[in-house]
């Protein structure tokens, strides 16, 4: 009996010590969590209403941003140039735009842009130059001298169309380029105000259904096969001032992109956010989604810009890529 009492007396201090250790550990964990908090828990992202946004919509609705301590609001622009301008002016924190416009902003000195997260690359038949039955355009050779709609000059729509025309010996300099918002192109085709248009999804499938549009050429073929199309960017100042927010955004987008391989999770998001009906969502061709930026792959964009004479000197893509989190 005395021995058992002695054992109990010894056990009490040991138990107290164990509780103290656990409490200290919890305190340290709480402090670590606080120290790791993002600089900006609420951020705004300028976007285009295209299928490229599917992983971001999934990150919003699937809780991937929330898990990283982020609340992400979106600001819809009519073109990649507009989303880029909203980001560089400080109206929004980040922007989804075409890579061509990010590199042009850097090259011209308009903005010190950093590429934050990958968006999409062109998959076969996801980005096409289309026409309608009453148009004089029947083949790619017919594009010379015609009116072709693009989202904005030097955007992916412009650069990819010019590249594929060049591959087929058609002079892009003899085309009348007509910048207009992507949702308006189908109606302009049907009304004969333009002869052809560059259409990505979901506008591509919508144009086929509403205007009888059909492809003249796959814009992501030849020199532009699997071409990097869109990504998310921020100013170098924002990246420098918000390193934890940057990493949190990247992690959320990485996890959402991995989850986006399940088409069943993507189609409802496209229906709700891109305002397309279920038939269009089920028929359209998805682009190739990505998250982590690879400098060698992205280098294709400024190299093509230089080949087309859009920029005069080589731009080093690696110098524009913000520090990356994970792989994907």
Locate the domains of the chain by residue range.
42-122+226-320, 127-224
pLDDT of 203 above 50: yes
Q: Where are the beta strands (DSSP E) in the chain?
A: 42-47, 71-76, 94-98, 113-121, 127-131, 147-150, 176-179, 196-200, 214-218, 228-235, 288-289
Let me know: does 299 contact 317? Beta carbons within 8 Å. yes
Among residues 230, 235, 227, which one has the least CA distance to residue 106?
Answer: 235
The superfamily in CATH containing domain 127-224 is Periplasmic binding protein-like II (3.40.190.10)
- Predicted TM-score (pTM) of the model is 0.83
| Residue 21 CB burial class (10 angstroms; 0-12, 13-18, ≥19) | exposed
- Report the percentage of the chain scoring pLDDT > 90: 74
The superfamily in CATH containing domain 42-122+226-320 is Periplasmic binding protein-like II (3.40.190.10)
User: Which range in 49-53, 153-157, 250-254 is most confidently predicted, on average pLDDT?
Assistant: 250-254
Q: Output the pLDDT for position 36.
A: 63
DSSP 95-112: EEEEHHHHHHHHHHTS--
Q: Output the pLDDT for position 3.
A: 45
The predicted-structure confidence for 85-98, as pLDDT tens digits, reads as follows: 999 999 999 999 99
Phi, psi of 242 (to 5 degrees): -130, 55
How many Cα atoms are found within 13 Å in the side-chain-facing hemisphere of 203?
A: 25
pLDDT of 315 above 50: yes
The predicted-structure confidence for 222-279, as pLDDT tens digits, reads as follows: 999 999 999 999 999 999 999 999 999 999 999 999 999 999 999 999 999 888 889 9
Domains 42-122+226-320 and 127-224 share a fold: yes
- Report the percentage of the chain scoring pLDDT > 70: 88
Among residues 80, 67, 63, which one has the least CA distance to residue 119?
Answer: 80
Q: Output the pLDDT for position 15.
A: 40
Mean per-residue pLDDT of the chain: 88
């Amino acid at each position: 009996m005395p021995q058992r009492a002695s054992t109990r007396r010894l056990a009490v201090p040991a138990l107290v010590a164990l509780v103290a250790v656990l409490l200290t550990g919890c305190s340290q964990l709480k402090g670590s969590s606080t120290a790791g908090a993002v600089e900006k828990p609420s951020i705004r992202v300028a976007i285009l209403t295209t299928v490229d946004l599917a992983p971001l919509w999934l990150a919003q609705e699937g809780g991937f941003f929330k898990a990283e301590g982020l609340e992400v609001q979106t600001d819809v622009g009519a073109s990649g140039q507009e989303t880029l301008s909203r980001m560089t002016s400080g109206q929004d924190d980040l922007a989804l735009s075409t890579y061509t416009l990010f590199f042009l902003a850097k090259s011209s000195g308009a903005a010190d842009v950093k590429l934050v997260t990958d968006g999409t690359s062109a998959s076969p038949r996801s980005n096409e130059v289309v026409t309608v039955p009453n148009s004089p355009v029947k083949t790619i050779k017919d594009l010379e001298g015609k009116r072709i709609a693009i989202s904005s000059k030097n955007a992916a729509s412009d650069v990819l169309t010019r590249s594929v025309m060049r591959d087929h010996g058609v002079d892009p300099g003899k085309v009348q380029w007509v910048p207009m918002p992507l949702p308006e192109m189908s109606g302009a085709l049907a009304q004969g105000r333009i002869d052809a248009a560059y259409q990505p999804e979901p506008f591509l499938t919508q144009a086929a259904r509403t205007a009888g549009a059909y492809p003249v050429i796959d814009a992501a073929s030849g020199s532009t096969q699997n071409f990097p199309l869109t990504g998310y960017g921020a100013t170098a100042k924002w990246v420098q001032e918000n390193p934890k927010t940057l990493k949190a955004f990247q992690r959320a987008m990485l996890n959402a992109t991995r989850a986006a391989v399940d088409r069943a999770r993507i189609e409802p998001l496209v229906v709700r956010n891109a305002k397309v009906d279920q038939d269009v969502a089920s028929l359209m061709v998805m682009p190739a989604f990505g998250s982590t930026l690879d400098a060698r792959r992205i280098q294709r964009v400024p190299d093509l810009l230089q080949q087309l004479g859009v920029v005069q000197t080589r731009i080093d893509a690696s110098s524009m890529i913000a520090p990356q989190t994970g792989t994907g």
